[in-house]
Amino acid sequence: MKRLLLLTFSVFTFIAASAADKVIRIENFDYLEVGTKFKVYGSAGAQLSDDVASATVVKDPRYSFGNILHVKVGSTPAFVEFDIPNGLTGSKASEYERIAFEMMRPFGQTDRFQGSFVVSFGTTESLRTAFADIDVPVSEENKLKTSKMTYSIKKVSSFSKKIRIGFTVRNTEYYIDELRFLTTDFKYDYTDVEQTARYHAEKLGKSIGVCVNPNQLNDSREGQTIYRNFNMVVGENAMKFDATEPRRNSFNFSSGDQIVNWALKHDMQVRGHTLAWHSQTAQWVHDTEYSKKEMLSILKNHIFKVVGHWKGKITEWDVVNEVLAENQGRGVGAGYDLRNPGESVWYRRCGEEFIDSAFVWAHQADPDAILYINDYNIGHWENHYESGKTHAMYNLVKRLLDDGIPVHGVGMQMHTSINGLNVSSIEKTIKEFQTLGVKCIITELDMPGSNPSSSSEQRVQATKYAGLVDIVCRYDNAPTFVVWGIADDRSWLENSEQTKPLLFDPEMAAKPAYISVVNKFKEYAVAAGNPSIEIDDHNPLLAGDDVYNIMGQKVATSVKPADIHNLPTGLYIYRGKKVYVE
């Protein structure tokens, strides 16, 4: 019996993430050594010895990276002391009216967790949140159950540099993580893992990525926004030819290594960008008029050295980038024009075969890497100025495949715009490349607007970002969704602070576009992960109803509830509700 999943019809709720959604992280333990101890105090303020109570950093068993704090309490209530980063004084202190953290109780505990949560600032002000009994469920045998705890804390004039928190409980133990202060006008808590696109994308086996530079890879709000919300990074410039081989056969992997090492530490994938491109090829390649034979030897050496250096760490590569000419005006099956030789030193000196050879060499250098041909203006299949170039890319990929070249996918850069993007035309392209048996992914998405501060443009931008995620979730050959920059003031685009093309604002606050991306991944992750819910009205006497696909097209007429499971696997709209047939 196929399982039916009844979903609440999630209408896109417009959440205007406030620009003031501020978080001050007190501690997330990820950057501390396992075994680090925190001081623990009793109710009267005396420090407690380890045998009475303890608070120790341990590996986070929920994820493949990060740590949490394990608190053990003996016969007297225990309160753990934390430093507040840079302290909080005066008006800044009064902005923060809530304290939040994640809490877990280990499997096997039987006692109710009864007591008060207490937070005291320094050793003077203490604040007791009176409650008789909180429900912090114990974990299942092999899975920690996370409870999100948030407590209002009265306005305090000034926080000292330390707080102590704990519960008036005895003889128990628990874990805490992501301890932080929140402002009251709080819409989006970037440290709440379940509010991140990463969390839900990973449940679907999808990659959501962002381009980065080494100076972003730290524990700042920016660095945290990157590793918490994305599970893939790509070097904006660090792995290009001019960066990795600045002089002939003299390689510099330092910037790329910083990106790869930081990504792997945060359990993120890395995509390599890019091996053969007419732009950002090192100047020494241009300065000498190398023969075709020498150029191919240079390219082969470059590819083997670069791909070989990160073999097993970088899972996919943009092997060649932007090889097509702009104006193709072609249809499917009508060939393709490569970029003008005057623009491409590789094409000019080697001819078209540099493309074929680059893929063969990349595959030899790392047979497990997924190999992409990447380009811009190849997203729209129809009714768009890009369409001819898109068809040309289709024709080129088909020619490469017919010649046995190991091309595994097409990267659509998607440097688009709020008004120019037609989401359904992108879906058509992904579907067409699916017929060739290759992946078709979004590799450099940015979506500037003409008046992006207006709520209407923000809404359109959010809807279109979500529309692209919707396609990614529905197509197996569209596993990756990468944006070209983390925040509106960190884009390659001119005056991007005005055109606002990306998912986060300069203060790293989530924009409506990001919230819609999270909601869309979550919608599918919930659908995929929900326990099956039987359609309740199986009354055979009930008249049937029409069934629609999620594009709103009718796919079946007067289907009775009991017969829905006969539909092909997929997501449908039935009686105003989303139904997922497995």
Footprint on this chain of ligand G3I (rule: CB under 6 A): 236-237, 279-280, 321, 413, 444, 492
Residue whose CB is less far from ligand G3I, 160 or 244: 244
Q: Which residues of 464-480 are buried (b: 16+ CB within 10 A; e: fewer)?
A: bbbbbbbbbbebebbbb
Query: How many Cβ atoms sit within 10 Å of the Cβ of residue 307?
Result: 22
Give least dist CB 240 to ligand G3I, A.
7
Minimal CB distance residue for ligand G3I: 492
Closest Cα partner for 461 from 500, 506, 519?
500
Residue whose CB is less far from ligand G3I, 280 or 327: 280
Distance of CA 202 to the CA centre of its chain: 8
Residue whose CB is less far from ligand G3I, 67 or 207: 207
Residue whose CB is less far from ligand G3I, 180 or 240: 240
Residue 94, Cβ density class (10 Å: 0-12 exposed, 13-18 middle, ≥19 buried): middle
Give least dist CB 380 to ligand G3I, A.
17
Give least dist CB 107 to ligand G3I, A.
48
Active-site positions? 322, 444
Residue whose CB is less far from ligand G3I, 115 or 379: 379
Give least dist CB 210 to ligand G3I, A.
12
Answer yes or no: are the C-beta atoms of 370 and 409 closer than 8 Å. yes
Answer yes or no: are the C-beta atoms of 229 and 197 closer than 8 Å. yes
User: Which residue type sits at 119?
Assistant: V
User: Which residue type sits at 386?
Assistant: E
Three-state secondary structure readout of 15-52 = CCCCCCCCEEEEECCCCCCCCCECCEECCCCCECCCCC
How far from 264 is each of 178, 238, 529, CA to CA, in Å? 21, 16, 26
How far from 336 is each of 258, 325, 331, 394, 396, CA to CA, in Å? 38, 8, 9, 9, 6
Residue whose CB is less far from ligand G3I, 192 or 318: 318
Give least dist CB 280 to ligand G3I, A.
6
Q: Which residue has the tokens 């407690």?
A: 48
Give least dist CB 373 to ligand G3I, A.
13
Angstrom distance (rounded) from CA 148 to CA 100: 7
| Structure-block tokens of residue 512 | 């409506």
